[in-house]
A and B are shown apart, each in its own frame.
Chain A
Amino acid sequence: MLYFQWVPGYFKATILLNMEKSNFKKMTTEGLKRARESLNKLRQPAKPTEEQVRIVEEAMIINEKINEKIDEAEKDKVAARPAADVNP
């Protein structure tokens, strides 16, 4: 339940949580420090395995070849089109 209590100087919203605050975790300075260290560790550069490096490289090479073929096919299509289609 939320109710308002007049306190000289300002209007104070008081909450009845029906629970002890100790039921919840509190932020602590020590916790913030630990979290910063953990985050810094998680942001260290990745160390990929040889297998991962190989898969990515192969995929990129295949992709580049496919893209080249697609680009060539596109060029051929444009060249084969009647001039009116190219410059309507």
Chain B
Amino acid sequence: MTETFLGVQPFSKIDRILENISPEERFCLLDTNVLAAWSYRDVHTLGEDCEFIIEKICAHEAVAFASVTTRAEFLDFTRRVILTEGLSDMLLPSSPWRITKAARRKLESLKRSNADKVARGENPLYSDSQIKSLKRECFTPRVESGKDGWLATCDALLGSRLQKTWQEIEADIGLNYLDTQDPGIQAILHRRPEWSAVSSIIATTGLSASDALILNIFQSSKIPMLVSADFDVGYAFRASGLEGSKTLFLPDQLAREVNKFRF
């Protein structure tokens, strides 16, 4: 029986697949969710799966890439993690912050909402709209008072941390930033990534723009493997006919689900 290593493959097959690819060809593109889950594995619902796959990539000395979209999404994920943790910490008795009763009520309600998220199997992070409402309702006075508590909060919580997080991950884990303007990187592109292709991917499968950007750079590159933890990416990968030429790694359960579709 012929076994293909192309198409959607489960994380558990990574050893067999990478062993069958020569070391010079072990290039992979990482989707944001994999990087985010790995970096906050104790918080993230997919932390264990993504820790497994990153360690395998590392063990096989593969070269990993991250695109500009991954970088932007990762920064946003990190922003939400740091703000969620920092703002929740304001409720602790040992916290140096002095908060009003109204702010405490709001933060306690968000804490309960996070507990509900955990019960539903979601990541315990404040959503963007929750962060916005907290900023407007508690930290930033509705009239000009010259006292903007939100800016002081961001300075204390995010400050230089955000930039450091990406820099340290890039340097430490050996992540290569896929900068399409870099002549060195252009050598691994088949063609210049085009916006028309991004629109086409979105129009075909209804994929989000950020996922379509990642899929488009993967399609435009000579990188043979994409590692993701997103059902939508898997679905669009198959619907775009990429499975005949490239490999997409997904967590086992997702890979099984995505492979059931017939296009």
Binding site for B on A (CB under 8 A): 1-2, 4, 7, 9-19, 21, 23-29, 31-32, 34-35, 38-39, 42-43, 45-49, 51-53, 55-64, 66-67, 70
A10→B157 CA distance, assembly (Å): 51
Please tell me if B72 contacts chain A, counting CB pairs below 8 Å: no
> Which of A4, A17, A19, A42 interacts with B161 by CB under 8 Å?
A42
Cross-chain contact B55 with A48 (CB below 8 angstroms): no
- What is the chain A residue whose CB lies nearest that of B65? A24
**Which of B54-86 touch A at CB < 8 Å?**
54-55, 57-59, 61-64, 81-82, 85-86
Bin the interface of chain B by size: 35 or more
Counting CB contacts under 8 A, is B192 at the interface? no
Residue contact A27 to B89, C-beta cutoff 8 Å:
no
Chain B positions within 8 Å of A43 at CB level: 81-82, 85
Contacts of B161 in A (CB 8 A): 42
Q: Is B181 an interface residue (CB 8 A)?
A: no
B172/A60 in contact, CB under 8 A: no
What would 28 A/B residue contacts be, using CB atoms closer than 8 Å? Answer: A2-B190, A4-B245, A10-B4, A10-B20, A12-B5, A12-B20, A12-B21, A13-B6, A13-B247, A17-B27, A26-B63, A27-B61, A27-B63, A27-B174, A29-B59, A32-B55, A32-B172, A35-B172, A38-B172, A45-B89, A57-B97, A60-B100, A60-B102, A60-B138, A63-B102, A63-B141, A66-B142, A70-B142
Shortest Cβ gap from A3 to chain B (Å)? 10
Query: By CB atoms of chain B within 10 A, which of A17, A34, A46 has the most?
Result: A46
Report the separation of the CA atoms of residues A39 and B224 in the bound assembly, to the nearest whole angstrom. Answer: 29
Known: A15-B224, A27-B54. A64 touches B168 (CB 8 A): no
Convert B156-173 into 0s and 1s, putting 1 for each residue whose CB lies closer than 8 angstroms to a CB of A.
Answer: 110101001100110111
Report the minimal beta-carbon distance from A14 to chain B, rounded to whole angstroms: 7
- A10 to B26: give the CA distance in the assembly, Å: 17
Q: Give A10's nearest chain B residue, CB to CB.
A: B3
Looking at the assembled complex, report how far the CB atom of A56 sits from the nearest CB atom of chain B, in whole angstroms: 4
Question: B24, A21: Cβ atoms under 8 Å?
Answer: yes
Instruction: Determine if B164 and A42 form an interchain contact, defined as CB atoms under 8 angstroms apart.
Output: yes
